Amino acid sequence: MSESGLEKEIIVDINPYQTRVVLLEQGTPSEIYIERRGRERLVGNIYKGRVQNVLPGMQAAFVDIGLEKNAYLFAGDIQHDKQDFIFDGKETQTVNTVPNIKDIVKVGQEIMVQVVKEPIGTKGARVTTNITLPGRTLVLMPSVDYIGVSKRIESEAERTRLRDAAQSAAKDFNIGAIVRTAAEGKSEEEFHADFAFLTRLWGRIQQKSELVSAPRLLHAEEPLVFRTIRDLFTPDIKRLAINDREFYERVLLIANIISPSLKNRVQLYEDIPDLFDQLGLEAEIDRALAHKVWMKNGGYIIIDQTEALTTIDVNTGKYVGSTDNLQETITETNCEAAREIARQLRLRDISGIIVVDFIDMDEIADKERVLSTLREEMAKDRTKSHVLGITQLGLVEMTRKKTRQCISHTLQSSCPYCGGTGKVLSVETVVLKVRKQLMRLMAKNEAKNFLIRVNEAVAASIAENSDPHSGILPVPKGGAVYVEAADIHIEKYEVSPLTETQAEEYYRRGAVRYGE
């Protein structure tokens, strides 16, 4: 059982096409990771790149690292951002001074960079020159000489102990690092082992960089299975289930190194090709993509993702409350929604700007109760987030750090018909477009007969608004219009002239004739 009281499990499903990992809390998925073969994660990869463009007006440079699109390097990403950590017992202040990009890099210069954000949409990867190498207990930072401690370690006494132990271990290597949350309770010997491994790795990366020309991959981040062991497989995990023997044996070796007590928690489910299906998790993934998410109390939330931000709307749905107090019913619904929203953000890996429209509350105390619930649930998230508060319009604003595309981008693509808007033209609109196209052809063509081929619903609407001699469609004098219903998309239609012979043939085939 974890310190938070939640029973946690990790399920790893591996097949020749993809690796999937789900973190269960109390049997319910809270995080899902999917890695497709040939589309592995880029965040953490280290490249030797060549500067292609320097744009002082944007304070940025574009770097060729060998990917389809050049990577984006902001001037501020050449300096290390210390705001997430405690250094020397004090929280550092963010330095606002950013050097001019043209004074740092030049076109044609070869530099070592690390991907910090995946390419998303039309944007290339975002990179930094501040290289970091994550280990089990710490993150090596070759460009600095200090030891930091994660803010997530709340105990001041433990932070001090960890800082002292890490500083003592670092003396032999003369290099900086961040002590990770997973390092709680670890000893100086364990820090020393991590420093030794990571500094050897850094040495190999530097050596390779000197031998190759840009653009070239110098170091690839670990595959999903091993990132899971490194980042998620902690003592509060009750079980790690996996369905691949080769990876099972490798996981056992790693677990034996990092914490021998974890070995007995690794379970092999051999000869089960789809572990998610076996454990009933496929439906949870489907629900992770749903537009409407029902809550246990009968309320529901609506999640809409756009390029700029994600909006979430809260509704009472079927929930009628447990008391006669309307405001209490609303507050209870909002608190339940806050818990579900935090889970959904982790599950879907939604990031960027997030705006939540909770049900209107009159009392300030109720609003604070909902905000407190949301902040408490978001504190469980390993990804950095900020709940900013309630605006004058009653909307809750928050942000969540973006490093990769959310799960919907992995599992879904934009609809080829609506272009991702979720909407298509109405039947009436299509009928009027068909009418306009027919009028254009009649004005340019001397034919007496015309064929209209449309979706069945559009053909039915034309029939409802027409009779053999008049209606919504114009009919050429001495001729006719033939409407053929087809199994095509509702927005698709064809309008073309017909000869007398063709017109008779379409009529025999069942096309409806309008006109003489």
What per-residue confidence (pLDDT) applies to 13?
A: 93
Distances 273 to 37, 90, 278, 283 between C-alpha atoms, Å: 17, 51, 9, 17
CB 398 within 8 A of CB 354: yes
CATH superfamily name and code, 47-220: Nucleic acid-binding proteins (2.40.50.140)
What per-residue confidence (pLDDT) applies to 79?
A: 56
Residue with tokens 């364990």: 190
Give ranges for CATH 2.40.50.140 in the chain: 47-220
Range with the largest mean pLDDT of 323-327, 410-414, 512-516: 512-516
Give ranges for CATH 3.30.420.40 in the chain: 8-38+225-282
pLDDT higher at 85 or 273: 273
What per-residue confidence (pLDDT) applies to 209?
A: 93
Confidence band for 69, pLDDT divided at 50, 70 and 90 = very high
> Looking at the predicted structure, is the pLDDT value of residue 159 above 70?
yes
What per-residue confidence (pLDDT) applies to 115?
A: 94
Cα–Cα dist 72/56, whole Å: 13
**If you average pLDDT over residues 300-321, what whole number do you get?**
85
Question: In DSSP terms, which residues pair with 480 in a beta bridge?
Answer: 449, 515
Cα–Cα dist 476/465, whole Å: 18
DSSP E strand stretches across 37-185: 46-55, 60-64, 71-74, 85-87, 90-91, 110-117, 126-128, 133-134, 138-141, 147-150, 176-179
> Looking at the predicted structure, is the pLDDT value of residue 336 above 70?
yes
Structure tokens, 428:
């009436």
Confidence band for 82, pLDDT divided at 50, 70 and 90 = very low
> Looking at the predicted structure, is the pLDDT value of residue 96 above 60?
no
Confidence band for 274, pLDDT divided at 50, 70 and 90 = confident
Range with the largest mean pLDDT of 114-123, 303-312, 413-422, 493-502: 493-502
Confidence band for 320, pLDDT divided at 50, 70 and 90 = low
- Long-range pairs for 362-365 at CB < 8 Å and ≥24 separation? 362/327, 363/327
Instruction: Calculate what percentage of the chain has a pLDDT beyond 70.
Output: 92
Cα–Cα dist 124/117, whole Å: 9
pTM confidence score? 0.72
Instruction: Calculate what percentage of the chain has a pLDDT beyond 90.
Output: 43
What tens digit of pLDDT does each residue of 345-357 get? 988 888 889 999 9
CB 332 within 8 A of CB 321: yes
What per-residue confidence (pLDDT) applies to 132?
A: 92
> Looking at the predicted structure, is the pLDDT value of residue 513 above 70?
yes
Cα–Cα dist 448/497, whole Å: 8
> Looking at the predicted structure, is the pLDDT value of residue 80 above 60?
no
**Helices 245-258 and 224-231, packing angle to 10 deg:** 30
> Looking at the predicted structure, is the pLDDT value of residue 308 above 60?
yes
Cα–Cα dist 296/487, whole Å: 40
The neighbour count for residue 95, using CB atoms within 10 Å, is 12
**If you average pLDDT over residues 467-485, what whole number do you get?**
81
> Looking at the predicted structure, is the pLDDT value of residue 395 above 50?
yes
What per-residue confidence (pLDDT) applies to 52?
A: 95
Residues in the chain, total: 516
Q: Measured on CA atoms in the order 328, 330, 336, 338, is the torsion positive or negative?
A: negative
pLDDT higher at 257 or 243: 243
Confidence band for 16, pLDDT divided at 50, 70 and 90 = confident
Q: SS3 for 96?
A: coil
CB 153 within 8 A of CB 159: yes
**If you average pLDDT over residues 291-302, what whole number do you get?**
88
Q: Which fold has domain 291-411?
A: Aminopeptidase (3.40.630)
Chain-centroid distance, C-alpha 46:
22
Give ranges for CATH 3.40.630 in the chain: 291-411
Query: For the CA atoms of the chain, what is the radius of gyration?
Result: 30
Cα–Cα dist 443/450, whole Å: 12
Structure tokens, 410:
């992995």
Q: Which of 483, 477, 515, 510 is nearest to 496 (CA)?
A: 483
What per-residue confidence (pLDDT) applies to 459?
A: 93
> Looking at the predicted structure, is the pLDDT value of residue 86 above 50?
no
Burial of 46 (C-beta count, 10 Å sphere; 0-12/13-18/19+): buried
In CATH terms, is domain 8-38+225-282 a member of 3.30.420.40?
yes
> Looking at the predicted structure, is the pLDDT value of residue 413 above 70?
yes
What tens digit of pLDDT does each residue of 402-411 get? 766 677 777 7
Q: Alpha helix (H) ranges present in 105-187?
A: 156-170
What tens digit of pLDDT does each residue of 32-62 get? 888 888 778 888 999 999 999 999 988 999 9
Structure tokens, 3:
């310190």
Cα–Cα dist 9/22, whole Å: 8
**If you average pLDDT over residues 436-465, what whole number do you get?**
91
**If you average pLDDT over residues 146-159, what whole number do you get?**
87
Structure tokens, 7:
């029973």
What per-residue confidence (pLDDT) applies to 403?
A: 67
CB within 8 A of 376, min separation 6: which ones? none
pLDDT higher at 397 or 325: 397
Average pLDDT, the chain: 86
**If you average pLDDT over residues 201-220, what whole number do you get?**
93
What per-residue confidence (pLDDT) applies to 5?
A: 55
**If you average pLDDT over residues 1-15, what whole number do you get?**
76
- Long-range pairs for 501-504 at CB < 8 Å and ≥24 separation? 502/449, 502/451, 503/449, 503/451
CB 468 within 8 A of CB 480: no
Q: Which letter, b or e, does each residue of 221-260 get, where b requires 16 or more Cβ atoms within 10 Å of its Cβ? A: beebbebbbbebbbeebeebbbbbeebbeebbebbeebbe
What per-residue confidence (pLDDT) applies to 199?
A: 93
